[in-house]
């Protein structure tokens, strides 16, 4: 059987979602149970992979122990996210499993409530993240010299550090906060999900189990904690870089560690501080104090503990955090969500993002135009059928300049069910019961979420480095890389990096390693297609065009890029071939309708799932 469980972590009070696959004869409490007792392994694999959206534990009786061992072998071979985190052995079931990433828990009782309670106790702990894992303590003295200094221990800095370690290049990482994790540990909500499909946001290759598609905050933080642990001897938290000075062919790094000043020399620098996500923008509305509801920001778990049920929600903004908060509110039982925005952002259904990465690239790192056009037509059709408002820039441009593309199925389902709408304008004032938009349109609200985004962080990079300009391939100077997200301009996602900044990071780290202390640096930065620009003007299109220029002119870099996209496509096909992905996504699609409607819905009652036709068109 498969049962979706929602249990409370006794320490944090947070709800923990997970699935239980039962391979025993025990009648466990719960709904939506499927018995796997007698089916062939192939049938079980096909069924369980349609439920890959939550982490798993298995309950195993002795009569099914061999069957489960065979199942684990198959799931392990494809590194399926359905591979369990724990096996609960009932009545001495013989589970001879040698896997350090799989917990084996023996339960001597066959009483359903006892088993149920023990599973919930485990899940409440295992599927909640302990932020202390990000507080790496390194009591070693600061070094006086190293090959490369990495500034910032977010996802970019930690990935870069691990690659430098693998390449045999010495390094130090300096993080001014008391924990690693960057924006994921500072601004992400517990309900946040990666905006790119999983294989395009994979920090390292796992042996048995990949993360779930559009991985959640816990999974990303666990991965970053693992990366931080690997380089912990070179990682110094609560150590702020005050200034980076060029001294001929080396760099002098001036540091402040808990009030004491230090300095060290390096041959190279990787500035891994985010550009596009700086400090949160602040706003205060007229008559805000009279509003009798709740006002929250859409970041840093500020909405944790809010009771969304039957509430009318106003969300201000239409970036990734705004769309995420709309999803969270609807999943939490909100009566209605109104999104107030200056212009309609682009929202993408999950399957379109999947196709953007899973479709193979040609030797020029392009998708064929026929596939792109087909996908756009399905996407446009979904907008029309759902009633969601298309971006004003369609179909001339895929998105507005400066906007990201948010990935959400619930956005379209919610519009179809009349649970969500968007209104263009700005909040001009507040009342006791809601908000006025542009001084004339009143919207009733119980909760108002401010999700208007962040200030850019580029000025900080300029102040630290002393450089006012940057080459469009992310180099400030020889062996000095500014590796960060940038302003997202019009055609940012139609490239080998797709919607993933991590894919960009992976590419340019390989370029950095290849060219570190290499005399070809001067030739690289004068490659046709690479230009010098003000730091504040950095855009995605700059480092995309520069990547293509390097790929065209350097066979080694062409091979690096081809290896990257080939491995990524392989990972996508391993975790979710198209048929499996469509089956899983359609199942989620119908269940989301029932959840938002508060009642069971048949497929015929739902927003048509147009993407099933992709299986026929190939």
Residue 176 lies in a domain: yes
Look at 35-49, 369-383, 489-503, 558-572 and tell me which has the smallest mean pLDDT: 489-503
- Model confidence at 584, pLDDT cuts 50, 70, 90, reads very high
**Listed residue (448, 379, 388) closest to 417, CA to CA:** 388
Decide the pairing of beta strands 427-431 and 434-437. antiparallel
**181 and 89 inside one domain:** no
Go through 109-142 and write b for each residue having 16 or more CB atoms within 10 A of its CB, e for each that does not: eeeeeebbebbbebbbebbbbeeebbbbebeeeb
Q: Please give the mean pLDDT across all residues of the chain.
A: 91
Task: Give strand pairing partners of 54.
Answer: none
**27 and 107 inside one domain:** yes
Q: Bin 425: left if φ > 0, else alpha if -120 < ψ < 50, else beta.
A: left
- pLDDT of amino acid 100: 82
Answer yes or no: is pLDDT of 4 > 60: no
Distance, CA of 17 to CA of 554 (rounded, Å): 48
Residue 575 lies in a domain: no
Residues 6 or more apart whose CB falls under 8 angstroms from that of 417 comprise: 593, 596, 597
Distance, CA of 101 to CA of 78 (rounded, Å): 16
- pLDDT of amino acid 565: 92
Q: Summarize pLDDT for 418-427 with one digit per residue, the tens.
A: 999 999 999 9
**428 and 330 inside one domain:** yes
Q: Summarize pLDDT for 195-245 with one digit per residue, the tens.
A: 998 989 999 999 999 999 999 999 999 999 999 999 999 999 999 999 999
Answer yes or no: is pLDDT of 188 > 50: yes
**165 and 200 inside one domain:** yes
Answer yes or no: is pLDDT of 452 > 60: yes
- Mean pLDDT for 160-175 is 98
Residue 574 lies in a domain: no
Q: Are 149 and 253 in contact (CB under 8 A)?
A: yes
- pLDDT of amino acid 15: 65
Q: Summarize pLDDT for 129-160 with one digit per residue, the tens.
A: 999 999 999 999 999 999 999 999 999 999 99
**300 and 377 inside one domain:** yes
Answer yes or no: is pLDDT of 58 > 50: yes
In terms of residues, how long is the chain?
618
The structural domain count of the chain equals 3
- Model confidence at 32, pLDDT cuts 50, 70, 90, reads very low
Q: Summarize pLDDT for 84-105 with one digit per residue, the tens.
A: 999 999 988 788 788 888 999 9
Cα 286 from chain centroid?
A: 35
**Listed residue (300, 203, 221) closest to 501, CA to CA:** 203
Which residue range forms the structural domain that includes residue 15? Answer: 2-128
Q: Which of 128, 152, 170 is the last residue of a domain?
A: 128
| CA dihedral sign of residues 77, 83, 85, 90 | negative
Distance, CA of 458 to CA of 282 (rounded, Å): 18
**182 and 101 inside one domain:** no
**397 and 509 inside one domain:** no
Residue 561 lies in a domain: no
Distance, CA of 597 to CA of 330 (rounded, Å): 10
**269 and 150 inside one domain:** yes
Residue 222 lies in a domain: yes
Q: Which of 98, 128, 158 is the last residue of a domain?
A: 128
- pLDDT of amino acid 30: 66
**443 and 489 inside one domain:** no
**Helix H or strand E encompassing 583:** helix 578-597
Distance, CA of 84 to CA of 211 (rounded, Å): 12
Residue 363 lies in a domain: no
Answer yes or no: is pLDDT of 448 > 70: yes
**187 and 218 inside one domain:** yes
Q: Summarize pLDDT for 65-74 with one digit per residue, the tens.
A: 889 999 999 9
Q: Which of 87, 113, 128 is the last residue of a domain?
A: 128
Higher pLDDT, 12 or 496: 496
Residue 328 lies in a domain: yes
- CATH number for the domain spanning 593: value is 3.50.50.60
Answer yes or no: is pLDDT of 81 > 90: yes
Answer yes or no: is pLDDT of 502 > 70: yes
**444 and 309 inside one domain:** yes
Residue 577 lies in a domain: no
**444 and 470 inside one domain:** no
Share of the chain above pLDDT 70, in %: 95
- Mean pLDDT for 580-585 is 94
- Mean pLDDT for 24-49 is 82
């Amino acid at each position: 059987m498969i049962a979706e469980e929602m249990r409370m972590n006794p320490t944090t009070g947070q709800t923990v979602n997970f699935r239980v696959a039962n391979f025993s004869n025990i009648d466990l409490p719960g709904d939506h149970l499927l018995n796997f007792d007698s089916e062939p392994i192939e049938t079980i694999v096909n069924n369980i992979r349609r439920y890959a959206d939550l982490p798993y534990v298995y309950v195993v009786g002795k009569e099914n122990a061999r069957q489960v061992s065979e199942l684990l072998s198959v799931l392990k071979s494809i590194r399926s996210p359905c591979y369990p985190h724990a096996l609960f052995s009932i009545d001495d079931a013989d589970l001879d499993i040698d896997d350090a990433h799989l917990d084996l828990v023996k339960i001597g009782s066959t009483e359903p409530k006892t088993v149920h309670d023990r599973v919930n106790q485990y899940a409440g702990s295992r599927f909640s993240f302990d932020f202390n894992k990000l507080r790496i303590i390194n009591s070693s003295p600061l070094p006086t010299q190293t090959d490369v200094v990495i500034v910032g221990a977010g996802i970019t800095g930690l990935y870069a550090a691990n690659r430098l370690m693998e390449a045999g290049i010495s390094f130090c990482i300096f993080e001014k906060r008391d924990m690693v994790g960057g924006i994921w540990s500072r601004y992400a909500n517990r309900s946040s999900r990666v905006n790119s499909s999983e294989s395009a946001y994979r920090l390292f290759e796992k042996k048995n189990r990949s993360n779930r598609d559009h991985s959640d905050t816990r999974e990303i933080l666990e991965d970053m904690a693992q990366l931080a642990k690997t380089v912990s001897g070179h990682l110094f938290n609560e150590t702020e870089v005050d200034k980076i000075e060029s001294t001929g062919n080396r760099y002098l790094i001036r540091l402040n560690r808990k009030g004491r000043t230090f300095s060290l020399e390096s041959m190279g620098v990787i500035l891994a501080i985010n550009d596009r996500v700086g400090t949160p923008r602040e706003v205060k509305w007229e008559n805000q104090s009279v509003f009798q509801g709740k006002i929250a920001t859409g970041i840093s778990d500020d909405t944790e503990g809010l009771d969304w049920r039957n509430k009318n929600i106003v969300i201000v903004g239409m970036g990734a955090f705004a769309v995420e908060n709309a999803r969270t509110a609807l999943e939490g039982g909100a009566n209605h969500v109104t999104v107030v925005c200056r212009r309609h952002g682009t929202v993408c259904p999950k399957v379109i993002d999947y196709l953007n990465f899973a479709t193979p690239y040609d030797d020029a790192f392009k998708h064929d135009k026929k596939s792109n056009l087909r996908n756009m037509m399905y996407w446009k059709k979904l907008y029309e059928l759902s009633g969601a408002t298309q971006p004003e820039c369609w179909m001339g441009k895929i998105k507005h300049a400066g906007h990201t593309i948010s990935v959400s199925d619930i956005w379209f389902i919610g519009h179809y069910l009349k649970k969500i709408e968007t209104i263009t304008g700005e909040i001009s004032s507040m009342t006791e019961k809601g908000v006025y938009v542009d001084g004339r349109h009143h919207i009733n609200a119980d909760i108002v979420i401010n999700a208007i985004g962040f200030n850019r962080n580029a000025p900080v990079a300029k102040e630290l480095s002393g450089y006012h300009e940057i080459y469009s391939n992310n180099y400030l100077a020889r062996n000095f890389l500014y590796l960060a997200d940038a302003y997202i301009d019009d055609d940012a996602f139609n490239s080998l990096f797709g919607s993933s900044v991590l894919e960009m990071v992976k590419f340019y780290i390989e370029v950095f390693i290849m060219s570190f202390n290499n005399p070809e640096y001067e030739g690289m930065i004068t490659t046709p297609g690479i230009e010098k620009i003000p730091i504040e003007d950095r855009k995605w299109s700059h480092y995309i065009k520069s990547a293509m220029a390097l790929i065209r002119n350097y066979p080694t870099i062409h091979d690096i890029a081809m290896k990257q996209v080939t491995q990524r496509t392989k990972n996508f096909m391993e975790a979710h071939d198209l048929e499996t992905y469509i089956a899983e996504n359609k199942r989620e699609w119908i269940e989301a309708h029932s959840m938002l409607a508060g009642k069971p819905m048949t497929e015929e009652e739902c927003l048509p799932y147009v993407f099933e036709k992709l299986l026929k068109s190939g």
